[in-house]
Amino acid sequence: MIYFVFAMKSEAEIFINEYGLKRKNSVFSEYSDEERKVIISGTGPLNCSIATTYLLTQNNRGKNDIIFNIGVMGADDENIPGKIYLPNKISNSWNKKSYYPEIRMKNNFTETEITTVMNSEDSYKYKYSDMESYAFFKTALNFFDIENISVIKVKSDNISDHKKIISEDIRNVMKNSFNSINSYTESYRNFLMSYGKDISDIESIAENSPFTFTQKQILKNALKYYMYKNNEIPDIVKNINEKAKSASERKKILNEIIRYIYE
Amino acid sequence: MKSSDIFMNNFFHHIYVEKKIYEYEITQNIIKKFKNSGIILIENYKDIFNRKNQNYNFQKKSPDLILAFKNENYIYKGSPNCQNMGFEEYYYITQTYNCIYECDYCFLQGMLDSGNILIFVNTEDFFNSVKSIDNKPEKLVSVSYESDMLSVNGIYPLAEKWLDFSETLNNIKIEIRTKSLNTSYLKKGLNKNIILSWSVLPDEIIKKYEKRTPELSKRIDAVNRAAEYEYKINLAIEPIIVVKNFENIYSEFIKYIFKNIKAEFINSVSYGFYRIPSEYIKKIKRISQSELTFYNYILENNNYTYGRKITNEKSSFIQKEIEKYYKGDIYSL
């Protein structure tokens, strides 16, 4: 599953349309299909934090799930609006604390530091600023490992122009950057999935087995040993549910499995 | 190579630098070597290195570099799990954490939160801490215990610095543990207080469990180069991993070692079986993808091991095999 947190509908629209996501009945503005979930948080750190928490507590998260905060930011640099950035340091303007997202996959974006501000008037004080990413990162860290969390920002305007940004401008920069961002998010998911063997079958076999909690842990450990060694699940665990009817049978069967696997 | 590796950034794509040491000469020298790396200034290395929710093994695939200043705790007394080569007192220092190799059995994956490489640049403080214990009885200080200093010597030539410093010591031997082939730092005449400990294992084990490390024959070449400069050399056969055809693999391996290194070059041989402190195993199991982690170990004295029965039996086999070719000091753990 890929989770997306956007602050504004105008940032999310191109993603919702291109992915053909369906509106969900929710207290937030949410859209989803089988593989992606989008939530629109509203602007500002507090809204972002609440919406991210809501999104992640409503759904069962998998090990390879990832979450992105995508949106526009103000930038005081020479690049034109529409330029895409990956923040490698996210600070906040109120107590100067920072988070450092992991950027381990090759990409064509520009890395930068960014400061999250409480209100848009403060953005003029920083070269790169937004109103969500710090709160997003801090919140998502409660649910995910650091490599499963990413922030992507698109330059909406030159901060020094002091020009009011309208929704149409945002729609345009997001529309123009959609292909690049989509390519990155999809590759990133594949990248994380290709790292490591899929052990969901092991979890499932152990959880559905007739064993006690402790016996299940022993079985899982043994199956991981076998899987990492032989790249397959041993036949001996097939049909264990049918064989093990009583406590003594369960103990006997588990001992047989353990002996077979570690021999 | 896994498909994920192709998409990984190069090593040290990011260098995190504590603000207070950014202007240090050593820091600038290191930064200059990595022109394509992004430099990210940080307040404290712990903000990166000690943060939670990191995947040590994932980071090891393309580690970043962290440069920092250590404020305290420069030297530690070694635990009974450490190989002390017969010294009454054993210490270790941690000027660097982690290395470029990826060993499935590494205890650091259970001890540390981060797989990035951390170097403390205030070398003098580490020297002073060693100086402060330079008294009787004679001590062993390992300077490459939670890293492989030589494998990261290309980033900054710490080994040279320790070699020079070792000449000023009276009652301390400095041990540098390594799997590296890097011997260019060795200098004739700077060897009286240095023990070079080369980790060696059979190629079957190296290929399977020591990713990115040099093959055995190349390590032996490196040992021979060091021997030419008359360094004291310890061969560390560690961790011994019990595999199918154990006797055959390890007897051939030991024979090969002593056929290719003159026994008189070797100061001592140490060996020890795979063991992992119980406090680390839970964390390692969360991130490991190696069968080695999930073996049916036995808990003994707060360590997961092969158990006394297997260890005793295999240990006496290893001891006898070594004794066939080597009459000097042999230490086991």
- Contact yes or no for B2/A195 (Cβ under 8 A): yes
Nearest CA in chain B to A228: B291
Q: What is the largest CA-CA distance in chain B?
A: 56
Supply the pLDDT for residue A94: 94
CB pairs under 8 A between A and B: 82
Q: Give the pLDDT confidence score for residue A70 in this predicted structure.
A: 98
Q: Contacts from B311-319 at CB under 8 Å and sequence distance 24+?
A: B311/B273, B314/B240, B314/B242, B314/B246, B314/B273, B315/B271, B315/B273, B317/B246, B317/B247, B317/B250, B317/B251, B318/B237, B318/B240, B318/B250, B318/B254, B318/B271, B319/B271
Residues of chain B with C-beta less than 8 angstroms from the C-beta of A224: 291, 293-294
Closest CA in chain A for residue B12: A104
Of the pLDDT bands very low, low, confident and very high (cuts 50, 70, 90), residue A237 is: confident
List b or e across A214-242, with b for residues whose CB sees 16 or more CB atoms inside 10 angstroms.
Answer: ebbebbbbbbbbbbbeeeeeeeebeebee
**Residue from the list A191, A197, A224 with its beta carbon closest to the beta carbon of B7:** A191
The average pLDDT across A17-34 equals 94
Q: Distance (Å) from the C-alpha of residue B222 to the closest C-alpha of chain A?
A: 32
Residues A143-178 have pLDDT tens digits of: 999 999 999 999 987 776 667 778 888 999 999 999
Instruction: Kindly identify which residue of chain B lies nearest to residue A199, measuring between CA atoms.
Output: B289
Q: Which of B40, B289, B295 sits opposite A100 (nearest CB)?
A: B40
Query: Quick check: A243 pLDDT over 90?
Result: no
Edge-to-edge strands of the sheet including B232-240?
Answer: B75-77, B89-93, B139-142, B172-178, B194-199, B232-240, B266-273, B329-332
| Interchain pair A100, B2: CB under 8 A | no
Which residues 171-190 in chain A show a CB within 8 A of chain B? 187
In chain B, which residues touch A (CB < 8 A)?
Answer: 2-4, 7-9, 13-14, 16, 38, 40, 42-43, 47-48, 51-55, 58-59, 61-62, 285, 289-291, 293-296
Q: Nearest C-alpha of chain A: how many angstroms from B252?
A: 23
pLDDT at A4: 98
Contact criterion met (CB below 8 Å) for B246 and B314: yes
Integer Cα distance of A263 and A255 in angstroms: 12
**Residue A69 clears pLDDT 70, i.e. is over it:** yes
Residue numbers in A near B47 (CB within 8 A): 98, 100
With a CB cutoff of 8 Å and minimum separation 6, the contacts of A233 are: A201, A202, A205, A223, A226, A227
Question: Per residue in B30-49, pLDDT tens?
Answer: 999 999 999 999 999 999 99
Q: What is the pTM of this model?
A: 0.93
pLDDT confidence of residue B2 = 58
- Using CB atoms, pick whichever of A98, A145, A262 lies closest to residue B54: A145
Q: What is the dihedral of CA B293, B294, B297, B302, to 10 degrees?
A: 50
**ipTM of the predicted structure?**
0.90
Instruction: Give B-chain residues touching A105 at CB under 8 angstroms.
Output: 7-9
- DSSP letter at B83 equals -
Q: Which residues of A touch B9 (CB under 8 A)?
A: 103-106
The three-state (H, E, C) secondary structure of B7-73, written as one string: CECCCCCEEEEEHHHCCCHHHHHHHHHCCCCEEEEECCCHHHHCCCCCCHHHHHHCCCEEEECCCCC
The alpha carbon of residue A107 and the mean position of all alpha carbons in its chain are separated, in whole angstroms, by 17
Cα B197 from Cα B194, distance rounded (Å): 10
Cβ atoms A68, A2 nearer than 8 A: yes
Neighbour tally for B247: CB within 10 Å: 11
A123 or B198, which is more confident? B198
Residue window 7-26, chain A: list those with CB within 8 Å of chain B.
Answer: none
Pairing of strands B65-68, B117-120: parallel
Collect the ranges in chain B with pLDDT lower than 70.
Answer: 1-5, 81
Residue B235's φ and ψ, nearest 5 degrees, are: -95, 120
pLDDT of residue A162: 66
Q: Is the pLDDT of residue A223 over 90?
A: yes
Find, in chain B, the residue whose alpha carbon is nearest to that of A113: B40
Average pLDDT, rounded, for chain A: 91
* pLDDT per position as a tens digit, A86-114: 999 999 999 989 999 999 999 999 999 99
Is A105 in Cβ contact with B9 (below 8 Å)? yes
